[in-house]
Amino acid sequence: MPPKSLSFVDVTKENLVSIQHIIEKALNSASFIALDTEFTGLGGKEANTKAPNIEERYVNLCKVVRSHALVAFGLTIFEEVTNDVQRMSESLEKRYNVHNFNFSLLSQVDHIISPQSLQFLSDSGFDFNKQIRKGIPYFPGCDKSNSNLKDPNNIMRSIFFYILSRNVPIVVHNGFFDLIYLYYSFYADLPSKLSTFIADLSEMFLGGIVDTKYIADYVTREKSSFLAYLFRKYEREQFENSSYSNEKKVLNRSQNIKYCEQYAFHGFCKQRMKCGNSHDLDFILDEQAREAETRRKKRKLNQNQERLPKDINQSTEYVSASEPPTLLPSTKPDQFDMYHSAHFDAYMTGFIFARQMLKYGKTKVNNEYKNKLYLMGKNLPLLVEKSQFSKTSNGHNKKKMM
């Protein structure tokens, strides 16, 4: 299960001014920064946001972003902790202080709220009353002619600009859409061409952008790569490798319950509450471990058939797990639903990135895997590299002169 509570600072219009310096102080010590957003719409089928042509896809995504709005912004700052003991240790594991912020946002321009997003946010426990009462007012697009340093819109833009100035890796998960939303909400109007947008990003994020979904899909080749699945999988792995790991648990399969394959592979199920199969991530991971062990035994049996006993008892399997599997795995929507918030998603994204760095090394990740954004339905990522033929936008150029 995810942690019962994750410490975070709830940032609203009531405390934004007083907390700005705390955010900037935390950013000063950042080793890397994870971002996530919640918004009022993804665009329906008619929006064609999955167009095969990437330039067309970008144009369609921009239309959705301009007509919808951010409602929350998650910012998680990971500060690597170094001391004499750790410097002398041969272990590759790192320790981090984590600073977690959740910004409640309220766009000041008319925008669309799609029914699907409304239901998703509601199911995830999003507090709309709080957003209306305490949401930070902001104006998307280009800067407004308002020099008041205490204006909420100016403060949000200042914080975003401060994030960019840190020159450390910015970590997202399937973050192309998030970056378009953030650019439009706190930076400038969106460029009309994808090449211009990419040129802007390459100059904005000098520390590089890392997409954990790209690494999970194309590098580690995970069985599934949605955020909650990866987080729980890596969290269990970390626990199993720690000195606090329990002994192997007996996987009780006496109950005739199966896991939902659609949810296990994609992170959602159209039937939700009506689905008769389990959406419990621990049960899914335990079952996948059991299936992998069964396949391993079959391969070994085929290779060493003469040496293996004819009667193989498969009624009890053993898996390593941070918690014993439940006797009755949940068939309700996944247990991460109530934790699906901008700050928690940002934290999960950063946690996944830390585990990926542990596996592949910081240098390899920064040199080979950064500035590659996951693109749904494509075999290759979107490269965040400025072409010699592309120019940056006027909005971005004005920012550089500030």
Based on the fold, state whether residues 123 and 272 are members of the same structural domain: no
Question: 162 phi and psi, to 5 degrees?
Answer: -65, -40
Residue 3 is assigned to a structural domain of this protein: no
Over the stretch 115-162, which tens digit does the pLDDT of each residue have?
Answer: 989 988 988 889 999 999 999 999 999 998 877 889 999 999 999 999
C-alpha torsion angle, residues 23, 172, 207, 51 (rounded to 10): -130
Mean confidence (pLDDT) of the chain: 84
Residue 1 is assigned to a structural domain of this protein: no
Based on the fold, state whether residues 132 and 247 are members of the same structural domain: no
Question: What DSSP assignment string belongs to 236-256?
Answer: HHHHHHSTTPPPPEEE---S-
Could you tell me the residue range of the domain that residue 253 belongs to?
227-337
Look at residue 319 in the predicted model and tell me its pLDDT.
Answer: 33
Q: Examine the pLDDT at 199 and tell me if it is beyond 70.
A: yes
Domain-terminating residue out of 337, 357, 384? 337
Residue 4 is assigned to a structural domain of this protein: no
Residue 23 is assigned to a structural domain of this protein: yes
Look at residue 324 in the predicted model and tell me its pLDDT.
Answer: 37
How many domains, the chain? 2
Q: Are 349 and 214 in contact (CB under 8 A)?
A: no
Based on the fold, state whether residues 315 and 360 are members of the same structural domain: no
Based on the fold, state whether residues 68 and 20 are members of the same structural domain: yes
Based on the fold, state whether residues 74 and 138 are members of the same structural domain: yes
Residue showing tokens 């999988």: 233
Over the stretch 22-56, which tens digit does the pLDDT of each residue have?
Answer: 999 999 999 999 999 999 999 877 889 999 999 99
Based on the fold, state whether residues 259 and 147 are members of the same structural domain: no
Reported confidence tier of residue 6, pLDDT bands at 50, 70, 90: confident
Residue 289 is assigned to a structural domain of this protein: yes
Based on the fold, state whether residues 16 and 131 are members of the same structural domain: yes
CA distance 242 to 237: 9
Q: Examine the pLDDT at 330 and tell me if it is beyond 70.
A: no
Average pLDDT over residues 278-302: 72
**Which tokens in the block code for residue 66?**
């301009």
Find, among 223, 163, 199, 264, the residue nearest to 397 by Cα: 199
Over the stretch 352-367, which tens digit does the pLDDT of each residue have?
Answer: 999 999 988 888 888 8
**Which tokens in the block code for residue 180?**
């378009």
CA distance 82 to 129: 42
CATH number of the domain within which 20 lies: 3.30.420.10
What's the predicted TM-score (pTM) here?
0.83
C-alpha torsion angle, residues 56, 36, 281, 319 (rounded to 10): 110
Domain-terminating residue out of 337, 358, 385? 337
Based on the fold, state whether residues 330 and 353 are members of the same structural domain: no
Question: 288 phi and psi, to 5 degrees?
Answer: -65, -35
Average pLDDT over residues 183-208: 98
Q: How many CB atoms lie under 10 A from the CB of residue 245?
A: 14
Percentage of the chain exceeding pLDDT 70: 78
108-122, 226-240, 317-331, 343-357: range with lowest mean pLDDT: 317-331
Q: Are 90 and 359 in contact (CB under 8 A)?
A: no
Look at residue 74 in the predicted model and tell me its pLDDT.
Answer: 98
Residue 191 is assigned to a structural domain of this protein: yes
Based on the fold, state whether residues 34 and 143 are members of the same structural domain: yes
Domain-terminating residue out of 337, 355, 375? 337
Over the stretch 54-94, which tens digit does the pLDDT of each residue have?
Answer: 999 999 999 999 999 999 999 999 999 987 555 555 567 88
Average pLDDT over residues 334-350: 78
Residue 56 is assigned to a structural domain of this protein: yes
Q: Examine the pLDDT at 172 and tell me if it is beyond 50.
A: yes
Look at residue 306 in the predicted model and tell me its pLDDT.
Answer: 54
- Distance separating the N- and C-terminal Cα atoms of the chain: 46
Q: How many helices (H) and strands (E) does the chain have?
A: 15, 11
Based on the fold, state whether residues 370 and 329 are members of the same structural domain: no
For the stretch 77-83, contacts whose Cβ atoms lie closer than 8 Å and that sit 24 or more positions apart, written own/partner, are 77/26, 77/27, 77/29, 77/30, 77/33, 77/101, 78/30, 78/31, 78/32, 78/33, 78/34, 78/350, 78/354, 79/26, 79/29, 79/30, 79/31, 80/31
Based on the fold, state whether residues 251 and 377 are members of the same structural domain: no
Find, among 375, 306, 285, the residue nearest to 57 by Cα: 375
Highest mean pLDDT among 146-155, 185-194, 226-235, 355-364: 185-194
Q: Examine the pLDDT at 310 and tell me if it is beyond 50.
A: no
More confident position, 311 or 286: 286
Residue type, 101: F
Q: Examine the pLDDT at 322 and tell me if it is beyond 60.
A: no
Based on the fold, state whether residues 207 and 310 are members of the same structural domain: no
Residue 33 is assigned to a structural domain of this protein: yes
Find, among 178, 131, 126, the residue nearest to 349 by Cα: 178
Q: Examine the pLDDT at 339 and tell me if it is beyond 60.
A: no
More confident position, 255 or 321: 255
Look at residue 265 in the predicted model and tell me its pLDDT.
Answer: 66
CA distance 27 to 338: 28
Look at residue 347 in the predicted model and tell me its pLDDT.
Answer: 97
